[in-house]
Amino acid sequence: MRLFDANWMQVEEYLRRDNRIVLPTGSTEQHGFLSLGTDAILAERVSVEAAGPLGVPVLPALPFGMAPYFAAFPGSMSLRITTYIEVLRDLLDGLAGQGFRRIAIVNGHGGNAPVTGFIREWICQPRPERVQVLFHSWYNAPGTAAAADRFDRDQLHGGWVENFPWTRVAGAEPPSEPKPVLPRDVVGQLDPWQLRTAAPDGVLGGAYARPDEDMQAVWDAGVAEVRALLENGWLR
């Protein structure tokens, strides 16, 4: 269930029988012809669909992440890593203080991955009760990646692998032909304006779209993997 669909009294009642919660994390950044909110949209939606049958509450997605390399594309936002860590620290402290003991961060943005070191530090701090925190980047988890590999191994930013019906923007029609792939090691060396020059439309290469039935297969794998994590990913 979405946390916004409950009141505080219902959440307090939930905590009497369960202590799991999901925090989706994403980013607000250019995704070529797709929504600037793609990463947050996908992280929240996959969390809601996975957690719904389990009755586990899902927080609204944290819509800002770390994406300094897209600063030359209007609408792209980025937090400093120090800021992002402190935001997560405040959220985790608040959830733990309210009694949540199993917190799943379902991440939709590769630029957020560096916070895994902070999370490890946070869970090692002494507390009266153990608090578990899982960090799961749903889009490149093994089962989801394998489902996408069946169709196309070129899975780049803003390309087909993020092109779902719920990330498309009205009036934005991507090209029908794929574009050459920018090598990842090159992309990692470019500043924001160099990156915009190398990828003028924001897409880093490959196909722009695939049939919706292919995308549904990838999506179903992502939902199943997040649900399995919520059910079985915890230490006993």
CATH number at residue 138: 3.40.50.10310
Query: Residue 14 falls within a domain, yes or no?
Result: yes
Query: Residue 65 falls within a domain, yes or no?
Result: yes
**Percentage of the chain lying above the pLDDT 70 cut:** 100
Asked whether 71 and 192 are in contact (CB, 8 A), the reply is yes
Query: Residue 160 falls within a domain, yes or no?
Result: no
Four-CA torsion 100, 102, 108, 111, nearest 10 degrees: 90
Query: Residue 112 falls within a domain, yes or no?
Result: yes
Query: Residue 72 falls within a domain, yes or no?
Result: yes
Query: Residue 183 falls within a domain, yes or no?
Result: no
Q: Given pLDDT bands bounded at 50, 70 and 90, which one contains residue 5?
A: very high
Q: Which residues contact 45 (CB under 8 A, 6 or more apart)?
A: 166
75-118 confidence digits (pLDDT tens): 999 999 999 999 999 999 999 999 999 999 999 999 999 999 99
H or E segment to which residue 144 belongs: helix 142-149
Q: Which residue range(s) make up the domain with 223?
A: 3-151+213-232
Query: Residue 145 falls within a domain, yes or no?
Result: yes
* DSSP state, residue 45: H
How many independent structural domains does the chain possess? 1
Per-residue model confidence (pLDDT) at position 1: 87
Query: Residue 97 falls within a domain, yes or no?
Result: yes
